[in-house]
Every structure is written in C-alpha cells, then in structure tokens.
Amino acid sequence: MRALSRVVARRLPGGCCMVLALALAACVTSPTEQLEQAEKLLSGLESKGAEQYLTYELAEARQKIEEAKKFMRQDQVELAGEYLFRACQKLDSCSIAFVQMRRTAEIASREGIKKVSSELARLEEMVANLPRLTYVDQNRHDIHVYRLRRYHKDIAALASLLQVQNFPEVLRRISELDTQLQKTLVGLTNSVRVTATPVQTTRKQEIKEPPPERKINNLYANSPTR
C-alpha cells in the first residue's frame, strides 16, 4: 500500500499527491479510521477549490459519508464500511480528476489573458490614431480612453484571480471581457471608416446666363406691340 502511494505521489503535482494518498489509505482501514480519513480528504479537496470543478461528485461523496455516520450510530458497522468504501472510491477519482481539470483550466486561463491583452493593445493603437480635430472627435476619443482604463483594471483583476488559482472565475470573466473588447473593436473600426469616407455633396444646377445679344432680342420680343 505504501509503495502504491509513493508511485501515485510521484505522478501527481503539488499537495494533490497527499490528498490521493489519504484516499488510498482510507479504503483499507477500519470504519472509524475510514471515516476520519474520508473527512480529511473531503476537507482537503474543498479547501483547494475542488467544489468549483466537481460539485456533484463531492456532494455524492459527502452524502455517502453522512449515511455511513448514521449506520455507525446504529451499530451497523458493515453497512457503514460499505458506504465509506464507496465514498473513498468517489473521493479517490475526484482527486485525480481535480488535478487534471485544474491544470486544464490554468492553461486556458493563461492563454485567455494573453488573448484579451493582445486585443486591448490593438484597441489602444486604434484609439491613439483617432482624429481629434473637432469637438465630436475629441469627445469620442475621451470615451474610448475611459474604456481603455476600465479594461486595464479588468485585466489586473484577472491577474489577481490567477494568482490565487481561481481559474473558473478567471475563465468566466475572460469570456465577458472578450465580448466587450470585440464589440468595442468592431464599433471603433466602423466609426473610423465612416469618418474616413468623404461626404458626397450634391451640386446645384447652375443657371447659365444667356449671352447679351439674346437678352436684347428677348427684350424686344417681350415688349408690347404698338
């Protein structure tokens, strides 16, 4: 058993190897020891944020532990042992799945932050090139500068969440920020195109003056006859 725990520990990163070792050990001891180890394992997973990834699975394991406690109070040791064994199996699989899911979420979070940061840099370049000749131009420029400041704060908040390894929340906020940046980029691009398009003015039809000779002839033609 100890050899198996050491093998698993070498394959899993960080403190998760300890969590899995507890799960493996819990399944070969007495019901009382199983209960203690299962509760430690469940508490360890909860403290590491596994609830965000495995809500249903942890709830199922928690229910089995509570059922085992009930049977232990009724001195039904065998039934309690069965429920604890199932709880151990569930928590064992949760420990492995949690490591994999958290690693996947971490990679996606880092890539997502790079993506929105790149979009923000592109947006900053476009705002810097906006014309500011008229009051309307200046007002539009100031609005986009305000938005840039807000987007920078959002990315700083993402970095803080990444630091505490709250990857599900990072991914949720990245999705929202990416949508906002895309809308702003499209709106700004269309606005620049409209500004760059020359305004088509309609020419008024010029009324040509008749030559002087025709003016005189018309004058005689319109005069009353004697």
Contacts of 91 (CB under 8 A, 6+ apart): 23, 26, 38, 41, 42, 45, 61
Confidence (pTM): 0.66
Given this model, what pLDDT does residue 189 score? 83
Task: Determine, yes or no, domain membership for 19.
Answer: yes
Given this model, what pLDDT does residue 46 score? 92
Residues 22 and 83 in one domain: yes
Residues 176 and 116: their CA atoms lie apart, in Å, by 10
Residues 226 and 223: their CA atoms lie apart, in Å, by 9
Task: Determine, yes or no, domain membership for 207.
Answer: no
User: For the residues 152-174, what does the mean pLDDT come to?
Assistant: 95
Residues 20 and 60 in one domain: yes
Residues 119 and 141 in one domain: yes
User: For the residues 36-42, what does the mean pLDDT come to?
Assistant: 91
Of 66, 39, 176, the closest CA to residue 112 belongs to: 176
Number of domains in the chain: 2
Residue 11 pLDDT grade (very low, low, confident, very high; cuts 50, 70, 90) = very low
Domain hosting residue 185, numbered range: 105-194
Given this model, what pLDDT does residue 10 score? 39
User: For the residues 84-108, what does the mean pLDDT come to?
Assistant: 94
Q: Which residue has the higher pLDDT, 26 or 119?
A: 119
Residues 70 and 133 in one domain: no
Across all residues in the chain, what is the average pLDDT?
Answer: 81
Chain segment 192-210, per-residue pLDDT in tens: 665 554 445 455 555 555 5
Residues 141 and 168 in one domain: yes
Residues 137 and 121 in one domain: yes
Residues 15 and 98 in one domain: yes
Residues 112 and 86 in one domain: no
Size of the chain, expressed as the number of residues it contains:
226
Boundary of a domain, candidates 84, 102, 120: 102
